[in-house]
Amino acid sequence: MYRHYLTTYLRPQAGKVALLALVFLTAIGLELWLPQILANFIDLALAGEPTASLLRVAGLFLLIGLLSQTLTIAETYLATDVGLTATNRLRADLARHTMALDLSFHNARTPGYFIERVDGDVGTMNKFFSRFVVRILGNVILMLGVLILLFGIDWRVGASLTGFTLVTMFILSRISSVGIPYWNAAKEARALYFGFIEERLSGTEDIRANGAVPYVMRRLAELARAYFRKDLKADLIGTTSFGSTIVLFAVGSAVALGLAAWIFQEGTITLGTAYLIFGYTQLLTRPIESIIREIDDLQQAGAAVRRVNELLEAKSTLKDGTQALGEGALAVGFERVSFAYEDAPDDRRPETESVPRPPSSVLTDLTFTLPSHTTLGLLGRTGSGKTTLTRLLFRFYDPQQGTISLNGLPLPDIRFDDVRARVGMVTQDVQLFNASVRDNLTFFDSNISDDRIRFALRELELLEWVEAFPQGLDTLLQAGGEGLSAGEAQLLAFARVFLKDPGLIILDEASSRLDPATERLLERAITRLLAGRTAIIIAHRLGTVQRADRIMILEQGRMVEYGERLALVNDPGSRFAQLLQTGLEQELA
């Protein structure tokens, strides 16, 4: 389980890892030498050696101490560099994998789940990447080196402290493993807590407008209380383990002092050597504690690795196709398509306790063809399946029954990249990033030149509007488009899609939130955007529907009317003609 991550993320840094090991082992050698220098100083001082000799020993001690600290700093820097490089690569791989999973996987999990996997669990693995192998090996060498040197002083000292080391490591390993389940429970509570915060913060306007603030605060308090209690219990267990460690090491120091005093009174060792026994015992506590901590970290890393593996092993139910889509406008075909969503788990309970409900039907037995260079006006009340139809065209989901085709090719046979490149969408809620206008238009694609951007804006008659921004294309936008009106954000979305040059355009309520100042600009932009392309326009507004060549009306996932717009207008018995008479906006609200 660990080998894959070590070879994948540490092998590219083999040089740094080797240097880290060398620095760490050199620091260990210096640590073993320092107590001997101090013991030698004590013996020289008691023997009445000249001050110059003592100063030389003191200077050597100071030099070795400074060198040891320098190596410690270097080791910390290298370990942090190696760990962050590895974990950042893993985070990127996890994020890429997560974005490739189908929407049904995302809908079944809260944002907190993904945050905890990509950030929390990968952060736990940081120490494993940066220090585990080197530190385990290095501390074992340090511990064995101390015990060998203690045996060299006196076999009784070496045997006694070897026994103490084995007993202490056994006790500490048993104590440290007790806390693992509590830390895992705290992590799960943390994921639910922060997932709830993220979801509610993104819906602040709706929550406040609908008076749901008391409910949100109550739920937040419940989740915070659960997180607090579980984290407190885990901390308490950890503190108890730490206290046990202090007691055990105090016993070890007492044993060392007693042995040193006994052997010194026998006259077989000097006072400096007696100090050396105590000094090495103190030094021995560090590798013992570090090895136990590394084993504890390994257990936590093991739990994190298992959770990361679960995410990495999750496969999209959608398989990539092999066919390419040609250039130009796309023809659309639906043949007896039926689709239903699977309900997501209730976010008020952990995912392991969630009971999914039976899926509810959204589209039923839908059949129609839309020739290329044709604009379809898609009408229906909220929940009738309009947006679902467009999601199926993007292949965010596959229908349970039936076939969807583009240019006569079944959608599952077409490459994902071709589908996403050749189908463009503008929605009511435009996603803008905290970045420049340029980056928001190009989705951070540096291969798109400013000349190409300006050409697209000029074609849409939006160049003058964009250049009126304070810094033009370099104007920094706030996340979510703060500072822009809904209409202005949609104008940027139209330019973004135009740069993509798709063969099929989907406008999902894209003109429903326009302010008067930008409506004229958008009307011209729509006209230019739809020219030479196939389009599907989901609309509540009469003006937008008049652009359509054909009209489809959906009710409860079923097509109740489909035909040429002009023919339906001239047919008094058609549903569309009745909608026009009674008022499209009111009837479809």
Q: Which of 388, 378, 427, 384 is nearest to 584 (CA)?
A: 378
Give the confidence band of 553 by pLDDT, cuts at 50, 70, 90.
Answer: very high
Residue 82: is its pLDDT beyond 90? no
The pLDDT of residue 355 is 38
Alpha helices (H) along 348-424: 386-393, 416-422
Q: Is 43 exposed, middle or buried (0-12, 13-18, 19+ CB in 10 A)?
A: middle
Contact 505, 533 (CB under 8 A): yes
> Can you list the alpha helix ranges (DSSP code H) found in 203-270?
204-209, 213-266
The strands making up 360-370's β-sheet, listed across from edge to edge, are: 360-370, 332-341, 401-406, 409-410
pLDDT tens digits, one per residue of 376-395: 999 888 888 888 898 899 88
456-466: b (≥16 Cβ within 10 Å) or e: bbeebebbebb
User: For the segment 254-272, what is each residue's pLDDT rounded down to a tens digit?
Assistant: 877 787 788 878 777 888 8
- Whether 589 has a pLDDT exceeding 60, the answer reads no
How many C-beta atoms lie closer than 10 Å to residue 30's C-beta? 16
- Residues 252, 420: Cα–Cα separation, whole Å: 66
Average of pLDDT values for 425-443? Answer: 84
Q: What is residue 587's predicted lDDT score, i.e. its pLDDT?
A: 54
What is the pLDDT averaged over residues 527-547?
A: 81
pTM of the complete model: 0.65
Tell me the pLDDT tens digit for each residue of 137-176: 777 888 888 888 888 888 888 788 888 888 877 776 666 6
Q: Which is higher by pLDDT, 193 or 348?
A: 193
Q: Which CATH architecture has domain 8-313?
A: Up-down Bundle (1.20)
Kindly list the domain boundaries of the chain, sorted by start residue.
8-313, 374-383+415-588
Name which of 427, 586, 540 is nearest 492 in CA terms. 427
Segment 268-306, tens digit of pLDDT? 788 888 888 888 887 777 777 777 677 666 666 777 888
Instruction: Tell me yes or no: is domain 374-383+415-588 CATH 3.30.1780.10.
Output: no
Q: How confident is the model at residue 248 (pLDDT cuts 50, 70, 90)?
A: confident
